[in-house]
Amino acid sequence: MCWTSKLFACAVPKARPASRRRLTLAAVLILTASAALPAVAQNCDTTCNYCDFATPAVPVPSALWNGLEPASTTTLPGNRDSTDFNGVGSFELNPYWLSLDVEQNFVFAATSMRFQIWDARFNPGSPSALLDSGINSLPFNWTPDAHAFSVFTDIDAPPGKADRVAIGGVYGLGVAIVDTSIKDTPRIKYQDTGTLASREVRAVYTTTIDSRDYVFVAANREGGVFAYDMTAAMNLTGRCNENQPGTTFCPGIYLGKIGSRIRANYLDGAGDFIVLSSTFSPRGFEIWDVSNPSQPSMVMDALSGDSIYGVALWQDGADYYLAARTDTQARIYDVSCITDGFCSPGSPMWSRSMDPVGDPLVTFSRSTGDIPFLYFGDSGYCQSGNQKEWLYDVRNPSSPTDISPQGTVVINGAPVSYWGWYYRQNGVHGFNRVAPRVGKFSGDYFFRAGHAIFDVHRRTGGAPPNPDFTWTPAQIYPGTQVDFFDSSTGGPTAWDWDFLPDGNPGGSTSQNPANIAFDGAGSKTVALQASNGAGSNSTQKNLTVLEPEPVVTGVASSPNPALLCQPVTFTAQNVTGQPPLTFSWQISQNGGGVVASGGNVNPFVWTSTPGQTTGTTYTAEVTVTNSAGIDTATSAAVTLNPLDPLPANGAFTPTYDGQPDPPATGTVQFHAGVSGATEWNWSFGDNPGGGPNNDGFEGWTSDPVDGPNPVHTYDVAATYDVQVMVRNCAEVPRTSAILAVDASNAEPVIADFRASLFCAAGTCFADVNVPITFIDESIGEPDFWDYDWDGDGSFEDEDNPAPVTLFTYTSTGTFHPRLRVRRNSASDIYEGHPIINVGGAPEPSVTVTGPTTADRGHAVTFNASTTNCTPNADGWTWTTSGGVGSSSTSQLTVAWFSNGAKTVEVSNSACGAASDSLTVNVSGSATVVFTDGFEAGTLGGWTTSVTDN
């Protein structure tokens, strides 16, 4: 134990007084794994109020174990349990665990105001504390605040490294890079607190790219995502501090901002990619290629209409997957397309409902055997029910398996589950302020930052696995080498394969057998038995080995009908046949013979020429050959129509969606409605002198969709002159008239505001009839501000030409204010303001201080002060039980000329009926201070007065 006048400097676990570590009868009954379940209920309600009986945290009883169990069956040690903290007092001495990372069997933990390092190398089920340091002991730069209950927000170390870590935080902490090579004596190498020393960093992610370590941070205030060279920071000889973006004091570390997003709440990454998300405008998520962190490129921007909370990105081989949390769902997307450049995620490959209490979170890690896991958690510590956290094996991301023990047992008349055992609102067995925030595997041990507890669980594989498998390639012929991939869930440790009836080899015990061949065509049976310590299960699937001869079932064509000179795409469908295959194409006019032919491609694109006959049909025939045979197929007839005449120069004008109103945003959908056009060339007015011919036009395209209907985004608010040139194979180009586009909404308008109040745990606190200052942080130069002060969905305070800076709630209650800003037809609504809890105004009080004894005839001084009211400077009224002296200010000097108990009472005209009094015991002889300053023991013949000094 470290007893010191500076408790923040103690680098040892905290100790708790024995009186606060008492066990309830219910807790004692379950300390031994073999003990019966408790029969006595704890004396707690089913709310989230602090309860003396909801501490200490006791591991879930063995009746609920199955595949996952607490790593220790005894009560959590005091340095990993804050369930006995009622929220009154120091959040630094009573930590709440908010985030953790595990590297090389060291656990790095960020609590509310402490930085911890735990050694899990030798006894991972009961890690030992190497460092437990308060925020001021290193020290970190931050802005102390009486309301700063949680300063640290996130922590992360590069993969496979335990000698460095990045820590993010609020209250001006920003991001810090810490050298942890000496675990009990870490050194801050670099800290960036932001340009105003107030950056609110919500998430940090570290990774290694080309042998260098980098840190990426997501910030909600001074917001967005920022990149740092962690290796450069670690190479510093001493510590360097700066405020970026701004003057660089630490060269080579700050690499700049990624993208233009004004806020980011969550962050993760895999390989050369990072993903960031926002819960409020701008919503959605972005994925960036950061293979060169100084020059990142966006590869995905999606779900802009959804609030995206926690995100996790991971890589399996060449494939990338993204897990994302919305308000009500967990989702998994296949985002492997990001390796080819910018793309869309498509529909989720898996989703399930998850209703959060606080902010929904998700964490990725790998367990023994490199098994990928997702932990879906929640920041709210008012959990109830049987399961609000899920631990998914995602080896098959389209069908993940939750390894959380299922089922319940009845304790004191209530059904209890494995995770639900810990939730406070379950009352009879939950613990104070436990929240399933963040969890990561190291080997078979799962470390959980549970807000009020830091506990460890062990994966045991308590149930037989569920076998499943896939294979490649999709088309298999006699002699084709086939690779099989195990996708079983439930932690298998052994595999037994059969390849029937003519596989070569006929079986395998490898997890992922490769180069399996089948001798003949037909249906084959592949069977897999997957086993672990709890038993085995089997499954089988049919695999078809195709005949080697070519087969083609048909030819598709698009478009049909087509215009003269318009490209037509012919695609041979459902082609099989043992490679290599050769394709040969012929295009024939109905009754007119072959007009075109093509070589070894599929699909084949045919573009008619001006001399070919219109008003008739054409067909395409494909011939597919290989060494085993030949097959042919013919398309349906394609009608070739003549071109309409093009209009004259200036006789047509492009249009855009929403015309004639200015576009609502900077992204505009244009249209060129010219029926005879087969090629288009646009000038959008924002690239004068650009393009292939330096004329501002972007170049010819024959794309039948994007050509006549392009989407263009303006970055700068202005009015632009738009034109389009059209042409076809029979006529020279024609140029449209000019379309003036008012893109004044190109800069997005984004609503944001906050109350200048004390806020904690998602709630701000105010008093009835006391004006509240609101700070507007909207961007995009709105024209009007509309307010829904009570949050009922109706904007009752509309059309304000400037932000409202003061608002007063005239009744008590809870209110969820919203802000809508508008500029022309563009608008945005901010719904992320914390709830404001408006309570009754506190009663004013008056306090008098001064001596409680006095000598008779000697002047003494008293002072008055107020609480919860602003006094009138000259509005003070004093009474003194016959004392000599008066005052209308907050200070009074008085003397008494008789002994006994005297009362001094004071009030102020601005504080209602509030008053205070003090009893003064006067004693002694009648010593009087005369006007000439001399003292005497008799008053005969003299005039007396009391001086003010």
Residues 574-610 have pLDDT tens digits of: 999 999 999 999 999 998 899 999 889 999 999 998 8
Does the pTM surpass 0.85? The reply is no
String of DSSP letters for 91-108: TTTS--EEEEEEETTEEE
String of DSSP letters for 603-662: SEEEE--TTSPPSEEEEEEEEEEETTEEEEEEBPPEEEEPPPPPPPTTS---EETTTTSP
String of DSSP letters for 703-744: -TTTTTS-EEE-SS-SEEEEEEEEE-SSS--EEPPPEEEE-T
Whose structure tokens read 């007893």?
3
Whose structure tokens read 């030409």?
801
Q: What distance in Å separates the CA atoms of residue 668 and residue 710, rounded to the nearest whole number?
A: 8
Q: What distance in Å separates the CA atoms of residue 522 and residue 476, rounded to the nearest whole number?
A: 10
The bridge status of strand 212-221 relative to strand 224-229 is antiparallel
Q: What distance in Å separates the CA atoms of residue 713 and residue 330, rounded to the nearest whole number?
A: 32
Residues 423-444 have pLDDT tens digits of: 998 877 899 999 999 999 999 9
- State both tokens at 622: 């494909």
DSSP class of 487: -
User: Which pLDDT band, with edges at 50, 70 and 90, does 15 fall under?
Assistant: very low
Residue 768 is predicted with a pLDDT of 85
SS3 state of residue 755: strand
CA neighbor of 798 nearest in space, from 777, 820, 817: 820
Contacts of 291 (CB under 8 A, 6+ apart): 209, 210, 272
Residue 488 is predicted with a pLDDT of 85
* Residue 946 confidence (pLDDT) above 60: no
User: Which pLDDT band, with edges at 50, 70 and 90, does 385 fall under?
Assistant: confident
User: Which pLDDT band, with edges at 50, 70 and 90, does 5 fall under?
Assistant: very low
Going from the C-alpha of 893 to that of each of 264, 566, 862, 946, the distances in angstroms are 60, 103, 6, 9
Residue 534 is predicted with a pLDDT of 67
- State both tokens at 74: 């005894």
Are the CB atoms for 310 and 278 separated by under 8 Å? Answer: no
* Residue 916 confidence (pLDDT) above 80: yes
Are the CB atoms for 866 and 844 separated by under 8 Å? Answer: yes
CA neighbor of 174 nearest in space, from 205, 156, 151: 151
Residue 429 is predicted with a pLDDT of 82
Q: What distance in Å separates the CA atoms of residue 213 and residue 158, rounded to the nearest whole number?
A: 7
Are the CB atoms for 502 and 519 separated by under 8 Å? Answer: yes
* Residue 209 confidence (pLDDT) above 90: yes
SS3 state of residue 65: coil
Q: What percent of the chain has pLDDT over 90?
A: 67
Going from the C-alpha of 353 to that of each of 204, 277, 378, 389, the distances in angstroms are 27, 19, 14, 12
Average pLDDT over residues 831-850: 84
Amino acid 321 reads Y
Average pLDDT over residues 182-190: 95
CA neighbor of 169 nearest in space, from 126, 218, 230: 218
Residue 176 is predicted with a pLDDT of 97
CA neighbor of 332 nearest in space, from 267, 396, 387: 396
Average pLDDT over residues 616-635: 95
Cβ atoms within 10 Å of 776's Cβ, excluding its own: 17
Sequence-ordered strand ranges (E) for 729-823: 734-735, 739-742, 753-755, 758-760, 763-767, 772-776, 784-788, 797-800, 806-807, 813-815, 818-823
Are the CB atoms for 846 and 875 separated by under 8 Å? Answer: no
Residue 11 is predicted with a pLDDT of 29
Residue 462 is predicted with a pLDDT of 61
Helix (H), strand (E), coil (C) string for 395-410: CCCCCCEECCCCCCEE
- State both tokens at 109: 């933990």
Are the CB atoms for 786 and 798 separated by under 8 Å? Answer: yes
Average pLDDT over residues 865-892: 90
Are the CB atoms for 460 and 391 separated by under 8 Å? Answer: no
Residue 148 is predicted with a pLDDT of 82
The most confident of the ranges 1-15, 137-151, 290-304 is 290-304
* Residue 500 confidence (pLDDT) above 90: no
Does 358 or 534 have the greater pLDDT score? Answer: 358
CA neighbor of 172 nearest in space, from 154, 150, 197: 197
User: Which pLDDT band, with edges at 50, 70 and 90, does 412 fall under?
Assistant: confident
- State both tokens at 93: 């001495």
Residue 866 is predicted with a pLDDT of 87
Contacts of 835 (CB under 8 A, 6+ apart): 762, 763, 764, 814, 815, 816
Does 110 or 73 have the greater pLDDT score? Answer: 110
Q: What percent of the chain has pLDDT over 70?
A: 91
Are the CB atoms for 689 and 771 separated by under 8 Å? Answer: no
Residue 936 is predicted with a pLDDT of 41
Q: Residue 371: what are its φ and ψ, rounded to 5°?
A: -75, 125
Residue 859 is predicted with a pLDDT of 92
Amino acid 622 reads V
Are the CB atoms for 214 and 293 separated by under 8 Å? Answer: yes
The bridge status of strand 535-545 relative to strand 517-518 is unpaired
Residue 792 is predicted with a pLDDT of 86
Average pLDDT over residues 773-791: 92
Q: What's the chain's average pLDDT?
A: 88
Average pLDDT over residues 209-232: 95
Residues 470-488 have pLDDT tens digits of: 999 999 999 999 999 998 8
* Residue 399 confidence (pLDDT) above 70: yes
SS3 state of residue 517: strand
Torsion sign over Cα 473, 474, 477, 482:
positive
Q: What distance in Å separates the CA atoms of residue 887 and residue 881, rounded to the nearest whole number?
A: 14
Q: What distance in Å separates the CA atoms of residue 82 and residue 432, rounded to the nearest whole number?
A: 8
Residue 841 is predicted with a pLDDT of 61
Q: Which residues of 221-244 are buried (b: 16+ CB within 10 A; e: fewer)?
A: bbbbbbbbbbbbbbebeebbebbb
Amino acid 432 reads N
Are the CB atoms for 306 and 284 separated by under 8 Å? Answer: yes
Contacts of 297 (CB under 8 A, 6+ apart): 288, 289
Type and span of the H or E element at 225: strand 224-229
DSSP class of 938: -
Q: What residues are paired with 70 via a beta bridge?
A: 457
- Percentage helix, strand, coil, to 5, in the chain? 5, 45, 50
Q: What distance in Å separates the CA atoms of residue 729 and residue 712, rounded to the nearest whole number?
A: 26
Angle at the Cα of 903 from the Cα atoms of 897 and 906, rounded to 5 degrees: 120
Q: Residue 500: what are its φ and ψ, rounded to 5°?
A: -115, 150
User: Which pLDDT band, with edges at 50, 70 and 90, does 49 fall under?
Assistant: confident
Residue 10 is predicted with a pLDDT of 31
User: Which pLDDT band, with edges at 50, 70 and 90, does 758 fall under?
Assistant: confident
Residue 460 is predicted with a pLDDT of 84
The most confident of the ranges 85-89, 333-337, 874-878 is 333-337
SS3 state of residue 581: coil
Q: What distance in Å separates the CA atoms of residue 851 and residue 904, rounded to the nearest whole number?
A: 11
Q: Which residues of 312-338 are buried (b: 16+ CB within 10 A; e: fewer)?
A: bbbbeeeebbbbbbbeeebbbbbbeeb
